Amino acid sequence: MDLDNRFFAAVDRVRTGEPIPGITNEIKLTYYALYKQATHGDCKIPKPGVLSWAARAKWIAWKKFEGASRHDAMRWYINRLDRDVPNWR
């Protein structure tokens, strides 16, 4: 299976599969940020204001991966899921 197919299978597992045991908001933000980096590239939107705390947290998480290639972000997403749900495939 090529990287794109493995990545989108992992995304599908995170979105529609059974809940991931012990998942924290920080881990959810990591999945979000890696997905955005893999599918949209570097974050180009302005930083949300402090009162938009959820949007700001997502923006900060995404910015952490700035400069990462699409393929690196895909691999990191898959590796994160492998750690969180070892037998997801």
Query: Cβ contacts of residue 68 below 8 Å, gap of 6+?
Result: 37, 76
pLDDT of residue 89: 87
CA distance 54 to 19: 21
CA distance 8 to 21: 21
Vertex 15: Cα angle to 14 and 16 (nearest 5)? 100
Model pTM score: 0.95
Is the pLDDT score of 1 beyond 90? no
Nearest to 17 by CA among 9, 6, 25: 9
What is the set of domains in the chain, with CATH numbers? 3-15+26-84 (1.20.80.10)
